[in-house]
C-alpha cells in the first residue's frame, strides 16, 4: 500500500524524502521506517534532501528527524526545505541520481509512446524486439528467451529469461513482472544479474535504475 505520509523519490539532483501533512513526529518516524523497508537494498551513504510539506514541525523535531536518518539509516541529509523557503519543485527524472541531458516528463513519455502487446509466451531461443516503445507480454518469458524494448517491459507472467528495457538509452524505463526471476536484466547500459537460485517472491516486482546508478528490484505498487 502506498505510503500517505512520506515518500522517497529520485530527481535529477538526487534523492528527496517528501514528508506530507502529519499528526505527529511519531507518525512520521513510523512512516519512514515503512518506506525504508520497501527498498530492495540499503541506501547506506546516500545523500537525501528532506522536503517538508507540513509547516507544523518544530525545530527540535526537524533536528531529531535529521539525526534519525543519519544514525538509523546511514543517510546523509544534504539539505532541508520547508514550505516557506521552497523554490519551484525539482524536475522529475528517471528514478536515479544519474544526470540525464534531456529533461522530460516520464509519465508523458509513457502516455505518448507506442506499445506492442505480445499475446503469447516467449520460449527458449525466441527474441521479441520493439525499439519504438514498450512491450507488454501476455505470458511468460522462459529461460533462454529474450525481450528488448525502447521503453518499458511488462510481463504478465514469469520473467525467467533476459530483458532489456530502454534499449535506446532511456534510463527512466522499467521492467515489471508478476514473477521476476530473470537470467539478466538491463536498462539502458546498466546490467543486473540476479542469483541463479533466486526464488519467486510471490508478488509483482519492478526493476529500475535507483540510487548510485544501479538497477534495484522492489515490490511493484504503482508508477
The b/e string for 26-54 (b: 16+ C-beta within 10 A; e otherwise) is eebbebbeebbeeeeeebeebebbbbbbe
pLDDT-wise least confident of 77-86, 123-132, 176-185: 77-86
Residue 93 lies in a domain: no
Residue 88 lies in a domain: no
pLDDT at residue 96, as a whole number: 39
pLDDT at residue 102, as a whole number: 35
Residue carrying C-alpha cell 522492489: 218
Residue 90 lies in a domain: no
Residue 214 lies in a domain: yes
Residue carrying C-alpha cell 539478466: 184
| Structural domain harbouring 40 | 6-81
* Model pLDDT for residues 149-165, shown as the tens digit of each residue: 999 999 999 999 999 99
Whether residue 127 is found in the same domain as residue 27: no
Question: Stretch 4-26: mean pLDDT, rounded?
Answer: 71
pLDDT at residue 90, as a whole number: 43
* Model pLDDT for residues 64-79, shown as the tens digit of each residue: 888 888 888 888 888 8
Q: Highest mean pLDDT: which of 57-61, 62-66, 94-98, 202-206?
A: 202-206
Confidence class for position 4, pLDDT limits 50, 70, 90: low
* Model pLDDT for residues 47-64, shown as the tens digit of each residue: 788 887 665 677 888 888
Q: What is the CATH number of the domain that holds 10?
A: 3.30.750.50
Whether residue 121 is found in the same domain as residue 67: no
Residue 186 lies in a domain: yes
Whether residue 28 is found in the same domain as residue 115: no
In this prediction, what percent of the chain has a pLDDT beyond 90? 32
In whole angstroms, give the CA distance from residue 13 to residue 8: 13
Domain count, the chain: 2
| pTM flag (> 0.75) | no
Amino acid at each position: 500500500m502506498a505510503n500517505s505520509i512520506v515518500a522517497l523519490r529520485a530527481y535529477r539532483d538526487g534523492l528527496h524524502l517528501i514528508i506530507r501533512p502529519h499528526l505527529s513526529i511519531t507518525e512520521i518516524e513510523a512512516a519512514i521506517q515503512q518506506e525504508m523497508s520497501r527498498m530492495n537494498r540499503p541506501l547506506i551513504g546516500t545523500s537525501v534532501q528532506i522536503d517538508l510539506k507540513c509547516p507544523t514541525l518544530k525545530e527540535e523535531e526537524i533536528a531529531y528527524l535529521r539525526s534519525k536518518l543519519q544514525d538509523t539509516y546511514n543517510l546523509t541529509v544534504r539539505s532541508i526545505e520547508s514550505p516557506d523557503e521552497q523554490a519551484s519543485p525539482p524536475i522529475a527524472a528517471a528514478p536515479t541520481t544519474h544526470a540525464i541531458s534531456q529533461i522530460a516528463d516520464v509519465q508523458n513519455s509513457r502516455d505518448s509512446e507506442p506499445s506492442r502487446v505480445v499475446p503469447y509466451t516467449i520460449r527458449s531461443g525466441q527474441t521479441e524486439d520493439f525499439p519504438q516503445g514498450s512491450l507488454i507480454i501476455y505470458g511468460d518469458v522462459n529461460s533462454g528467451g529474450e525481450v528488448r524494448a525502447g521503453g518499458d517491459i511488462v510481463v504478465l507472467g514469469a520473467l525467467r529469461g533476459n530483458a532489456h528495457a530502454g534499449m535506446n538509452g532511456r534510463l527512466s524505463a522499467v521492467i515489471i513482472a508478476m514473477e521476476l526471476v530473470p537470467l539478466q536484466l538491463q536498462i539502458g547500459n546498466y546490467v543486473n544479474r540476479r542469483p541463479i537460485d533466486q526464488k519467486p517472491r510471490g508478488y509483482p516486482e519492478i526493476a529500475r535504475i535507483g540510487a548510485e546508478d544501479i538497477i534495484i528490484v522492489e515490490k511493484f505498487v504503482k508508477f
